[in-house]
Structure 1
Amino acid sequence: MAAARRNAPDLGAGGEGERQLRKGRMGKGTPKASTGNAFTVQIDPDGTFKYILVRLQRPGGEEQRDIVRGTKAAEFHNHIFEKVNPEMEKLGYECKCLGGGKIDHNSKDKKIRVFGLSTGYGKADHSVTVEILKKVYTDYEITWSDDKK
């Protein structure tokens, strides 16, 4: 947890966002490694699905934190943002989508592949996404590419 806090500003540690996570409101498939990490990543446990990279910031604040959200339930990338944005606003954050792509998650083999792009938001910086995922999925092989498929 210390590494995650060193690399991601502590926006609301112990605040409402973390209290909600302790109440079990995490995304399915997110390892419960730590509350801060669970807040940072919420993706489906298996399959290939769309994801977005979102930057959170407190209104008027300078500190920022990037989070990853992905799900098979989203037909389009904006469907993920439309769900995340109001949730984060309730917790006192402003959100900006930095881009999107796809994630291929194989929990059996402990592998995650990040690739592709979002037509609406553009391509997320997959290297940033991978670094965030590595903080949560510490025993996974996680790779990325600019491939579209």
Structure 2
Amino acid sequence: MSALEAVSEVTIDSDGVFKYILVRVSVRGSEQCRDIVRGTKCAEFHNHIFEKINPELEAAGFECSVLGGGKLEHNSNDKKIRVFGESTVYGKADHSITAEKLKKAFSDYVVIWTDDKK
């Protein structure tokens, strides 16, 4: 497994409505890249998520750029995740890409996305 493959595609909190970002992680000096989803209730703003993950990924030899953001509504009891909204800092992520990554990570869930802001 390469170092890039070792970077988890999806890391989100277990329940609630919270902000997320879609990030492109690239191997420095290479064309290899992978898009990852990060979301947490701890972030008041989308850039707080990036400020937390970027230093550790850069220290591992990666370059990161935010492709956009939005919100996730995660209900682990009902096994549902809804992707919606946008980031005022980074703009709207491509929710269809985020949803596909979530479907892979949570294969027994219903994952839906919408361009609605709420």
Per-residue CA deviation, residues 23-59 of structure 1 (Å, 9 max, x unaligned), is xxxxxxxxxxxxx6xx111100000000000000011
Of Structure 1 and Structure 2, which has the larger fraction of its residues in strand?
2
**CA separation in 2, counterparts of 1:16 and 1:98?**
18
Q: Is the 8 A contact 1:111 1:140 kept in 2?
A: yes
Identity in percent: 64
**CA separation in 2, counterparts of 1:43 and 1:16?**
19
Partner of 1:65: 34
Q: What is the number of equivalent residue pairs in this alignment?
A: 118
Partner of 1:126: 95
TM-score, normalized by length of structure 2? 0.95
**The one of 90, 108, 114 aligned to 1:145:** 114
Shift of 1:94: 0.2
**CA separation in 1, counterparts of 2:35 and 2:21?**
10
Partner of 1:114: 83
**The one of 16, 22, 28 aligned to 1:53:** 22
**CA separation in 1, counterparts of 2:38 and 2:4?**
19
Unpaired runs of 5+ residues, structure 2, are: none
Runs of 4+ in 1 over 2 A off after TM superposition: 13-18
Aligned-residue CA RMSD in angstroms?
1.4
TM-score, normalized by length of structure 1? 0.76
- The secondary structure found in structure 1 opposite 2:30 is coil
Give the number of the structure with larger relative contact order, counting CA–CA contacts within 8 Å between residues 6 or more apart. Answer: 2
Unpaired runs of 5+ residues, structure 1, are: 1-12, 19-35
Of Structure 1 and Structure 2, which has the larger fraction of its residues in helix?
1
